[in-house]
């Protein structure tokens, strides 16, 4: 009932910036926490940033001070502004969201991912 589509990935030089977007669509009642994960080749998927419905945020230590997560509830979209990018930021970035259905029940959804490649 809910689909997440990421966009904004690409190739960028170290020190550069990129902004990722994730738009939710479908039968949306209420989206609570939204998250960005990333997965590099041969590594486990890791949590990068979270933002709650109350707009509190949390970041992985590796991106703290460089990345900013935000959301636009009117557009059902979450963003990840990435600054001062490093080679180790290279990964597929995935959007994740908790959705509450009308009548109750919490469901978790994943986007298909967008590739971010940082060159030196």
The band of 54, judged by pLDDT with boundaries at 50, 70 and 90, is very high
Radius of gyration (C-alpha) of the chain in whole angstroms: 14
| pLDDT score at 26 | 94
- Is residue 47 over pLDDT 90? yes
Share of the chain above pLDDT 90, in %: 96
The band of 1, judged by pLDDT with boundaries at 50, 70 and 90, is confident
104: closest CA among 43, 34, 30, 48?
Answer: 30
d(CA 90, CA 40): 7
- Is residue 89 over pLDDT 90? yes
- Is residue 43 over pLDDT 90? yes
């Amino acid at each position: 009932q809910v689909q997440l589509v990421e966009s904004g990935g690409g190739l960028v030089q170290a020190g550069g910036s990129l902004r990722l977007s994730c738009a939710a669509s479908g039968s949306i009642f209420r989206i609570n926490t939204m998250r960005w994960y990333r997965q590099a080749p041969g590594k486990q998927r890791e949590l990068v940033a979270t933002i709650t419905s109350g707009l509190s945020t949390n970041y992985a230590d590796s991106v703290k001070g460089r990345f900013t997560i935000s959301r636009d509830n009117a557009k059902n979209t979450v963003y990840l502004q990435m600054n001062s990018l490093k080679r180790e930021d290279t990964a597929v970035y995935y959007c994740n969201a908790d959705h509450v259905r009308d009548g109750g029940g919490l469901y978790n959804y994943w986007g298909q991912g967008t590739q971010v490649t940082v060159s030196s």
